[in-house]
Amino acid sequence: MSTLLTFGRALEQKVREARIFYRFPRASEARETWRHDDRKKGSGKHLVLLDIRSSIVDGEGGRRFHALISLLLAADCRIWIVPHLRFFQSFHKCYKRQAMQKVEEDGERSPKRYDLCISDRYSHHPRANNALRITTATLREILAKEMPFPYGMHPDVYQSG
């Protein structure tokens, strides 16, 4: 029974990732909306690049992603993100959208080198001094260069300080 359950969860995850095919126009529109939103420029001393492709790291309502951004800001980080469309397919989640207001787009004006790259794909990034690969995997063994991505506190807890 556990093999069937594992297969079912893996299949569900693949289906969620494949939704980008019919969500492409909405994801593209969300990315453009975010690009034109007014955001304050961060002033943190640590430069962090988020190279996250999957929307699975969002968590419920974007809470997990919000927790990541809140912790990075508390550690005095300035945050950039590579705007992958698959990541933007769930931009409508309220906490994710709220967190994205504190993140800048990686592009022409971004730094040439980052102190840290957090990614769901890479354990080494060419433009970062250090890289951290995060995973939401619960059905397989965590690899040596991966860090399990925990479920964070409710965003209101972070907002209250």
Using a pLDDT cut of 90, give the percent of the chain over it: 20
Which DSSP helix (H) or strand (E) runs through 95?
helix 94-100
Buried b (16+ CB within 10 A) or exposed e, 147-156: eebeebeebe
d(CA 157, CA 154): 6
pLDDT tens digits, 120-154:
887 788 999 999 888 876 667 777 777 777 656 56
Confidence of residue 96 (pLDDT cuts 50, 70, 90): confident
Average pLDDT over residues 87-114: 88
Q: What is the pLDDT of residue 34?
A: 76
Q: What is the pLDDT of residue 160?
A: 64
Mean pLDDT of the chain: 80
d(CA 161, CA 158): 5
pLDDT tens digits, 12-48:
777 766 666 667 788 788 788 877 777 666 678 999 9
- The answer to whether 88 and 73 are in contact (CB under 8 A) is no
Using alpha carbons, select from 91, 96, 101, 82 the residue that is nearest to residue 39: 101
Confirm whether pTM is higher than 0.85.
Answer: no
d(CA 57, CA 134): 9
Q: What is the pLDDT of residue 108?
A: 87
